C-alpha cells in the first residue's frame, strides 16, 4: 500500500477533535520547540478529550518513528472499536450534509473566541 504519514494523522486527529493544531504558537520557531518538547495543549473541562482519543493521538504524535503507531495499532485501538475496516467503502454514511449552496458554512461551529491567530499581519 501507499506510505502514510502517521504523525500528520495524529496532528489532523487532534485538530478535528479540538479545532486547533496541537503545537500552535506565535512563531514557527515556537511551534518547532513545542513539537520537540511534545508540548500538547490537551483541552480540559467540558472540552476534555476521552482517554481513548488522547491515547490514540499520543501514540501517533510519538517522535520516535520506531515507537509510533501504525495501521495495525490503530485498527486495534479502543477509539476505533466497532469500525468495520474491511468494509469501509460500502458503509452508509451516518450523516450527509445538505448545504444550501457552495458557501454555506452552517454545519461548522465558530472557532473558539479565546483563540487568537495572526497570519501575515491579519488577525483571524
DSSP 85: G
* Helical segments of 5-64, H only: 6-18, 28-37, 51-60
Residue 60 has, within 13 A of its CA and on its CB side, a CA count of: 25
pLDDT digits (tens, 9 = 90+) for 93-106: 888 899 999 999 88
Q: Which is it for strands 122-123 and 118-119: parallel, antiparallel or unpaired?
A: antiparallel
Q: What value does the mean pLDDT of the chain take? A: 85
36: pLDDT confidence band, cut at 50, 70 and 90?
very high
Residue 74 has, within 13 A of its CA and on its CB side, a CA count of: 18
Q: What are the structural domains, with CATH classification, of the chain? A: 6-84+112-123 (1.10.510.10)
pLDDT above 70 (res 122):
no
Q: Average pLDDT, stretch 44-64?
A: 93
pLDDT above 90 (res 111):
no
pLDDT at position 9: 94
73-to-54, 56, 67, 68, 114 alpha-carbon distances in Å: 14, 9, 11, 9, 35
pTM over 0.85: no
DSSP 9: H
Amino acid at each position: 500500500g501507499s506510505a502514510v504519514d502517521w504523525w500528520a494523522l495524529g496532528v489532523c486527529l487532534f485538530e478535528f477533535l479540538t479545532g486547533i493544531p496541537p503545537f500552535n504558537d506565535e512563531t514557527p520557531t515556537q511551534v518547532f520547540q513545542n513539537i520537540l518538547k511534545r508540548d500538547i495543549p490537551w483541552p480540559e473541562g467540558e472540552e476534555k478529550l476521552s482517554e481513548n482519543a488522547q491515547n490514540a493521538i499520543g501514540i501517533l504524535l510519538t517522535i520516535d518513528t520506531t515507537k509510533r503507531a501504525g495501521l495495525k495499532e490503530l485498527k486495534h485501538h479502543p477509539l476505533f472499536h466497532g469500525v468495520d475496516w474491511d468494509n469501509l467503502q460500502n458503509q452508509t454514511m451516518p450523516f450527509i450534509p445538505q448545504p444550501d449552496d457552495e458557501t454555506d458554512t452552517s454545519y461548522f461551529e465558530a472557532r473558539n473566541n479565546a483563540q487568537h491567530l495572526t497570519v501575515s499581519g491579519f488577525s483571524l
